[in-house]
Structure 1
Amino acid sequence: MIKHEEKFCPRCNASFECKVGSVGLCQCSAVKLSDAERSYTRERFSDCLCAECLKELKAELHNNSLKARLMHLLRMR
């Protein structure tokens, strides 16, 4: 049986098992990220994050995008 690497999320310090050799089985594969979301995450962290933090960063980027669009619309008035 393959032993996977035990890691700690650099964002929240939660422990999780990294399955880089079996990415389809890794906890992070449950969070689908677009290219923009992957870039946003890579700009902020250089190592794997837990699935919960990936979900939160995905939501953060979405919220920031909505805020930027709203501000743009308000300036157009």
Structure 2
Amino acid sequence: MPKHEIKTCQRCQKNFECKVGNITQCQCYEVKMTYEETQRMHQEYEECLCAACMLELQIQYRKEELVDK
């Protein structure tokens, strides 16, 4: 039986279903972050984030990268 649990997003405090036992079916799998983006997110947050927050951070990171160039 696949392992899943309800988690609270560390950033927005909304609940979401984490499917740690089946990552390709997890909500976070849809957000395709680069290695650098993932590392930055892990520096800022210790726990899982919902896909909406991950997408917002990805957009923020990419905007900041464009400004820095």
TM-score tier (shorter):
over 0.9
Which segments of 5 or more consecutive residues in structure 2 lack a partner in the other structure?
none
The one-letter amino acid paired with 1:41 is M
| Counterparts of residues 17-56 of structure 1 (less than 5 Å) | 17-56=17-56
1:68 aligns with 2:68: yes
Once the two structures are aligned, what percentage of the paired residues are identical? 41
Normalised by the length of structure 2, the TM-score is 0.93
- Where 1:16 maps in the other structure, the secondary structure is strand
The residue number in structure 2 matching 1:72 is none
- Where 2:10 maps in the other structure, the secondary structure is coil
Shift of 1:14: 0.9
Which structure would you say has the larger Rg? 1
Normalised by the length of structure 1, the TM-score is 0.84
The one-letter amino acid paired with 2:68 is A
Higher relative contact order (CA 8 A, sep 6+): 2
1:6 aligns with 2:6: yes
Normalized per residue, the structure richer in helix is: 1
What is the aligned-residue RMSD (CA, Å)? 1.1
Which segments of 5 or more consecutive residues in structure 1 lack a partner in the other structure?
70-77
Runs of 4+ in 1 over 2 A off after TM superposition: none
The one-letter amino acid paired with 1:55 is L
